[in-house]
């Protein structure tokens, strides 16, 4: 049965959700408060990462976070503030950062990443799109033996989980990356990962959805949700009133501001990340994470992107030059002869990633509203998990058997 569906949020999660719902024959309207040409869905590293099956809320991160809190150039920076939602999120994060909780999350993260990778490849094969996609794996490069040992422990667990993982010496890395001139001790290599150029996909998908009749309202803000009998009966924006059968919330870091209108609290904090595009020839051909610096390097179509940092400091798009410099400086320490110019650093952009306390996304219907499906909280994996999330949401709406057990992603879960 065709349903009138309103999707609030036009980032990667919103567009992928619209893609699968229109395939099921529903009538889709996407509302976004921006012009849909910037933000986390455009600035990210473009990784599809089954290799990242360990939650961000891992043991030891609290200790590191306290140390990094006093360094605005650190990879993970939390700005202390007296805000009730922030303090509740910090407490939930602390509760999640245990060995037991991380162990429980491994299957949840690995399975949804593998599903998403397969769905990206299905889209590419469909002939409907022309976006850049490659599957060259991911190098986790390290400079110190201690970090190398830590990464290999994760790598060995990846092997147990059925992933292709190898521990490489610096010489073996050079065979894979002969011209990048890396200054490292070694790397853990995952052959399961892919990468893309995000703005290519976003533009391709938007064009495709419009050709299929999906309606877009951009630069439009949702002001109110009118509820009757635990159902949203009207979505009121600053320009119009819409009558939905179902509402999908894919508003990323802004999602809690929407759910508050319904008395629903979902713990999400905005995690700011930065990206620098380098158009000069870098000779980098394989996506690489510079482990000690937590910097992601991606060879995209026509440029190389250096991305990183997790800055939890509320919703804002202020560019902190110190954090941009820290990314550039780290890249230059790992790649001999690489120089990121002042002009390139000046073009750096940022995006806000919605971070859940346990590093697992929220996907599902809240028990407090019958026709609201929530899909947010993907943290640094939003790009990777776009298609899988969209597919799972479409299965919820269309009453189909779910591709995965989605109980672990439930938006009402307790911390």
Write the pLDDT tens digit of every residue in 8-23: 999 999 999 999 999 9
Instruction: Read off φ and ψ for residue 296, nearest 5 degrees.
Output: -100, 135
Least confident of 93-107, 110-124, 298-312: 93-107
Which ranges constitute the DSSP H helices of 97-225? Answer: 99-126, 145-160, 170-176, 198-211
For domain 4-409, give the fold.
FAD/NAD(P)-binding domain (3.50.50)
Domain ranges of the chain: 4-409
How many angstroms separate the CA atoms of 151 and 146, rounded?
A: 9
Q: How far is CA 362 from the centre of its chain?
A: 12
Query: If 0-12 CB within 10 Å is exposed, 13-18 middle and 19+ buried, where does residue 340 land?
Result: buried
- pLDDT at residue 70 tops 70: no
Least confident of 90-99, 256-265, 322-331, 377-386: 90-99
The pLDDT value recorded for residue 77 is 79
Place 370 in a pLDDT band, splitting at 50, 70 and 90: very high
Place 56 in a pLDDT band, splitting at 50, 70 and 90: confident
Which ranges constitute the DSSP H helices of 35-98? Answer: 40-43, 61-68, 84-96
Mean pLDDT across the chain: 95
- pLDDT at residue 57 tops 80: no
Over range 333-348, report the average pLDDT.
96
How many angstroms separate the CA atoms of 132 and 170, rounded?
A: 29
The pLDDT value recorded for residue 66 is 62
Place 68 in a pLDDT band, splitting at 50, 70 and 90: low
Per-residue pLDDT tens over the stretch 203-251 = 999 999 999 999 999 999 999 999 999 999 999 999 999 999 999 999 9
Place 76 in a pLDDT band, splitting at 50, 70 and 90: confident
Over range 284-290, report the average pLDDT.
98
Over range 11-37, report the average pLDDT.
97
The pLDDT value recorded for residue 408 is 96
The pLDDT value recorded for residue 165 is 98
How many angstroms separate the CA atoms of 327 and 321, rounded?
A: 10
- pLDDT at residue 333 tops 80: yes
Over range 320-324, report the average pLDDT.
93
Place 65 in a pLDDT band, splitting at 50, 70 and 90: low
């Amino acid at each position: 049965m065709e349903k009138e569906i309103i999707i609030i949020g036009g980032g990667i999660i919103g567009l992928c959700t619209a893609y699968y719902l229109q395939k099921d024959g529903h009538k889709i309207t996407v509302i976004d408060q921006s012009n849909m040409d910037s933000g986390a869905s455009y600035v990210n590293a473009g990784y599809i990462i089954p290799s990242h099956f360990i939650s961000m809320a891992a043991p030891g991160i609290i200790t590191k976070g306290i140390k990094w809190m006093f360094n605005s150039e650190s990879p993970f920076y939390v700005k202390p503030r007296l805000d009730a939602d922030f303090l509740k999120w910090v407490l939930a994060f602390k509760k999640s950062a245990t060995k037991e909780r991380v162990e429980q999350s491994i299957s949840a993260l690995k399975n949804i990443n593998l599903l998403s990778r397969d769905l990206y490849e299905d889209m590419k094969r469909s002939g409907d799109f022309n976006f850049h996609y490659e599957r060259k794996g991911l190098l986790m490069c390290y400079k110190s033996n201690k970090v190398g040992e830590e990464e290999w422990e994760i790598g060995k667990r990846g092997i147990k989980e059925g992933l292709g993982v190898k521990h490489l010496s610096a010489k073996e890395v050079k065979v894979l990356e002969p011209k990048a001139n890396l200054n490292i001790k070694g790397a853990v290599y995952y052959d399961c990962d892919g990468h893309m150029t995000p703005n290519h996909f976003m533009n391709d998908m938007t064009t495709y959805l419009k050709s299929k009749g999906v309606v877009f309202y951009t630069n439009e803000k949702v002001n109110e949700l009118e509820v009757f009998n635990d159902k949203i009966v009207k979505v009121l924006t600053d320009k119009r009133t819409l009558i939905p059968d179902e509402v999908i919330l894919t508003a990323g870091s802004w999602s809690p501001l929407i759910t508050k209108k319904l008395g629903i609290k979902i713990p999400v904090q905005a995690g700011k990340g930065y990206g620098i595009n380098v158009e000069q020839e870098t000779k980098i051909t394989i996506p690489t994470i510079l482990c000690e610096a937590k910097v992601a390097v991606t060879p995209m179509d026509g440029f190389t992107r250096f991305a990183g940092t997790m800055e939890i400091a509320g919703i804002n798009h202020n560019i902190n030059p110190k954090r941009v410099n820290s990314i550039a400086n780290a890249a230059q320490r790992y790649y001999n002869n690489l120089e990121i110019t002042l002009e390139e650093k000046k073009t750096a952009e940022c995006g806000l990633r919605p971070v859940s306390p346990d590093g697992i996304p929220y996907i599902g219907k809240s028990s407090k509203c019958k026709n609201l499906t929530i899909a947010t909280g993907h943290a640094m994996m939003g790009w990777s998990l776009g298609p899988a999330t969209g597919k799972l949401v479409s299965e919820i709406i269309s009453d189909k058997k779910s591709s995965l057990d989605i109980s672990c992603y439930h938006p009402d879960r307790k911390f």
